[in-house]
Amino acid sequence: MKLFLYYLIIIFMITTFAAYGQKNNNRADVHSFGNSDEITIKHLTLDLSVNFGTKILSGSAVLTLDHKKKTNKIVVDTRDLSIEKVTLDEKETPTSFALGEEVKFLGKALTVAITQKTKSVKIYYSTSPNAGALQWLEPSQTSGKEKPFLFTQSEAILARTWVPCMDGPGVRMTYSATIHTRPDLVAVMSASGNAGTKTADGIYSFEMKQPIPSYLLALAVGDLQFRSLGNRSGVYAEPSMIEKSANEFVDIEKMISAAEELYGPYRWERYDLLVLPPSFPFGGMENPRLTFATPTILAGDRSLVALVAHELAHSWSGNLVTNATWNDFWLNEGFTVYFEHRIMEKVYGRNYSEMLSVLTLKDLKEEIQSIGATSNDTKLKLDLINRDPDDGMTNIAYNKGYFFLRLCEETFGREQWDVFLNKYFDENAFTTMTTEIFLDKLNTHFKIKENSSLTNKLNIAAWVYGPGLPENYPKPQSIEFEKVTAQVNVFLDGTQASKLNTQDWTTHHWLYFLRNLPDTVRLEKVIELDYAFNFTRSGNSEILCEWFQRCIKVNYETAFGPMRNYLMNVGRRKLIKPLYTELAKTPAGKTWAQEVYAKARPGYHSVTYNTIDGILK
């Protein structure tokens, strides 16, 4: 036995040295150290204790292996993890391991010596208090103000900050987990086993039977309650938020049915939502079986639920058919925005979904202008080598992706296009997809290359591999927004704000109105608008974000108090980044922003403060 171990260590040292010399650049996924061409992980078993005092998760991860080629090592991703020991198989035979050098964004490769017969590797480890995926909230940062809260955000490459794993979207595994926490808190995960009631011992067990990529691993722990919304759906939230949440999401079953009618059966059994405290850095995160959502979606009038349609759509585009690498991100997000709009059309009608599409087009044009129309980052197929994927994953994947897929719909006809998409989700369920394989399938199905008029009409190369917005983009049309444009013009011609015809306007009418006011609108007119419509006191976070940008432009002082309050509470990056950006344009604005940010930053998740640091430095 001793001899065997000795042999293992020698072989291991030789191969690890070889691994150190090898650059990551020729791997299919440039953001993972994993040797997934040789060996992969088919199942993960987590056993973790949650310590709110030290802000540490500690315990073990068992990786069940799937050997592809002869190899005597497995390389997994870690970042800011302390590895205590590593053992092999059920017998827990000790083995040697080594952590590589720290690489920016990527962390450290963990190389473990195994044999060709090794079935599983058990890693004993703990996380660091500043793990990128984790946010540990003080009671004061929650709605109830009495109990702490923890949540994870693993996408894109942050799973490795709380679980040692092959942290690339190309590797899928099933998982089971046991979580130990305080008995006065509830743990929930992106898996089955969620109950929403406290256990006497604070121990919770979970199981995810469908294989998922690591970026969909998710955990939250807090004072949570559950409310059913239908046969296979419900919502988790803090007790003081549960009523409001359940009311906002009443249409969820309708959305699930609409999605199934469009693109085939929902394959994850249940669809639940978790409403997080306001520091959650995204609008939503499509963790399987349990979408994580920002409380800023709770407008009270259900006007922001397109976000739920979006996360639900990911149950097909993304979670079922997954982008192979982050360079193919548009396959996740572009498809999802397209699918989201189809769900919205089916549930709320074409007038509504066309309003969303017009806003999407405006976003896209502004995004291209701000990134630069010739920038590589405006291509659908990205090149994120040697970069933090978070920097290159912009709205382009979402909105340019949407318009490309809508162009496909308009070119092939909706009926034929839906036949193709149904087949696409069905045949590729639980696998990964590259841009190239997708284009190949598209070409084959519609015989595009054999048809020069189709080829020219679509101009796929310009959409996928070219920058900017190709000229043949679809032009959404909204009668509702034509009415809004008329009111914008009347207002600019001098009509009093209070005399505008805004009857029956919804959130989206207002968003379109605010976004179409030119920069030349002066302070008096902004004050007049506020008197007439009370924007500064709006309870709708999207409207506030738009309005505050306007207030900064004209230095409308009355709004700065409420804006400070907003920046201190909301941690959703998309809703605060535009404000810090606008403030940073003038020296006085920047000083004010830095002062607020100094107080707000400790309350933000790493995803958010990494972005804002860049704006205010």
Closest approach of ligand BES to the CB of residue 427, in Å: 23
Show the tokens assigned to 489. Answer: 């013009």
Dihedral sign of CA atoms 150, 576, 311, 348 in order = positive
* Cβ atoms within 10 Å, residue 100: 17
Q: Give the orientation angle of helix 541-554 with respect to helix 523-533, to 10 degrees.
A: 150
Q: How far is the C-alpha of 309 from the C-alpha of 258, rounded, in Å?
A: 10
* Interaction partner, residue 27 (Zn ion, ligand BES, none; CB < 5-8 Å by kind): none
Rg (CA), the chain: 25
- In terms of CB distance, is 336 or 536 closer to Zn ion? 336
Size of the site for ligand BES (CB under 6 A): 15
- Residue span binding ligand BES (CB under 6 A) among the ranges 305-313, 442-450, 533-541, 596-604: 305-313
Quote the CA–CA distance of 159 and 166 in Å, as a whole number. 9
Q: Which of 311, 377, 409, 546 binds ligand BES (CB under 6 A)?
A: 311
- 183 conformational bin, left if phi > 0, alpha if psi -120 to 50, beta if neither: alpha
Which residue stretch of 129-137, 307-315, 453-461, 577-585 sits at the interface with ligand BES (rule: CB under 6 A)? Answer: 307-315
155 or 223: whose CB is closer to ligand BES? 155
Of residues 556-585, those binding ligand BES (CB under 6 A): 574
User: Closest distance between ligand BES and the C-beta of residue 340, in Å?
Assistant: 7
Q: Which stretch binds ligand BES (CB under 6 A): 136-144, 277-285, 359-367, 525-533?
A: 277-285
Closest residue by beta carbon to ligand BES: 283
Closest to ligand BES by CB, 186 or 384:
384
- Tell me how crowded residue 183 is: count the other CB atoms within 10 A of its CB: 12
Smallest Cα–Cα separation from 317: which of 341, 295, 297? 341
Chain positions 127 to 186 lying near ligand BES, rule: CB under 6 A, are 155-156
Instruction: Provide CB contacts within 8 A for 567, sequence distance 6+.
Output: 576, 579, 580, 596, 597, 600
User: CA–CA separation, 114 vs 478, rounded Å?
Assistant: 61
The answer to whether 367 contacts ligand BES (rule: CB under 6 A) is no
Q: Which of 398, 424, 566, 609 is catalytic?
A: 398
Query: Which listed residue (108, 160, 289, 310) binds ligand BES by CB under 6 A?
Result: 310
- To Zn ion, the closest distance from the beta carbon of 314 in angstroms equals 6
Burial of 178 (C-beta count, 10 Å sphere; 0-12/13-18/19+):
middle
Q: Return the amino acid letter for 111.
A: T
Closest CA relative to residue 271, chosen from 308, 222, 304: 308
Stretch touching ligand BES by CB under 6 A, among 138-146, 194-202, 276-284, 450-458:
276-284
Pick the binder of ligand BES from 307, 321, 421, 600 (CB under 6 A).
307
Q: Which of Zn ion, ligand BES, none interacts with 283 (beta carbon under 5 to 8 A by kind)?
A: ligand BES
Q: What does residue 138 show for φ and ψ, rounded to 5 degrees?
A: -75, 155
Residue 81 or residue 293: which is nearer to ligand BES going by CB? 293
Judged by beta carbon, residue 36 or residue 323, the one nearer Zn ion is: 323
Among Zn ion, ligand BES, none, partner that 132 touches (CB below 5 to 8 angstroms by kind): none
Active site residue 398: yes
Q: CB of 326: closest distance to ligand BES in angstroms? A: 9
As a three-state string, the secondary structure of 446-474 is: HCCCCCHHHHHHHCHHHHHHCCCCCCCCC
Piece of the chain touching ligand BES by CB under 6 A; list 112-120, 278-286, 494-502, 548-556: 278-286
Cα separation, 224 vs 90, in Å, equals 35
Nearest approach in angstroms of CB 310 to Zn ion is: 6
Q: Are strands 56-67 and 39-51 parallel, antiparallel or unpaired?
A: antiparallel
Shortest Å distance, C-beta 314 to ligand BES: 6
Amino acid identity, position 358: V
Partner whose binding site includes residue 282, from ligand BES, Zn ion, none (CB under 5 to 8 Å by kind): ligand BES
Calpha distance 419→601 (Å, rounded): 48
Least Å distance, CB 120 to ligand BES, is 30
- Interface residue with ligand BES among 286, 328, 409, 546 (CB under 6 A) is 286
Backbone angles phi, psi at 121, to 5 degrees: -125, 130
Q: Closest Cα partner for 571 from 610, 532, 543?
A: 610
Separation CA 327–CA 43 (nearest Å): 25
- Binding track, positions 321-360, relative to Zn ion; x by CB under 5 A: ------------x--x------------------------
Task: List the catalytic residue out of 238, 286, 311, 333.
Answer: 311
Q: Closer CB to ligand BES, residue 191 or residue 393? A: 393
CB 510 → ligand BES: shortest distance, Å? 18
- Using DSSP's 3-state secondary structure scheme, residue 388 falls into coil
Angle CA 144–147–148, to nearest 5: 115
Please choose, from the candidates 351, 295, 476, 346, the residue with its C-alpha nearest in 3D space to the C-alpha of residue 402.
Answer: 476
**Residue 283 in contact with ligand BES, rule: CB under 6 A:** yes
Closer CB to ligand BES, 284 or 470, in the complex: 284
Residue 465 known to be catalytic:
no
- Pick between residue 225 and residue 325 the one whose CB is nearest to Zn ion: 325
Q: Are 208 and 175 in contact (CB under 8 A)?
A: yes
We find the least distance from the C-beta atom of residue 356 to ligand BES, in angstroms, to be 10
**Closest-CA residue to 401 (of 534, 310, 292):** 310
Return the one option of Zn ion, ligand BES, none that residue 367 interacts with (CB less than 5 to 8 A, by type). none
Nearest-5° Cα angle at 538, 526 to 529 = 20
Of the pair 336, 394, the CB lying nearest Zn ion is at 336
At residue 489, φ and ψ (nearest 5 deg) are -65, -40
Q: How far is the CB of 371 from Zn ion (least distance, A)?
A: 19
Question: Between 118 and 319, whose beta carbon lies closer to ligand BES?
Answer: 319
Of the residues 160, 314, 400, 550, which one makes contact with ligand BES according to CB under 6 A: 314
21: which residues sit within 8 A by CB, 6+ positions away?
A: none
Enumerate residues 336-365 that contact ligand BES by CB under 6 A: none
Q: What tokens does 605 get?
A: 């998740």
Number of residues that bind Zn ion (CB under 5 A): 2
Nearest CB to Zn ion, comparing residues 77 and 333: 333
Q: How far is CA 20 from the centre of its chain?
A: 32
Q: How far is the CB of 218 from Zn ion (least distance, A)?
A: 14
List, by residue number, the catalytic residues.
311, 398
Residues that bind Zn ion (CB under 5 A): 333, 336
Residues that bind ligand BES (CB under 6 A): 155-156, 282-286, 307, 310-311, 314, 333, 393, 398, 574
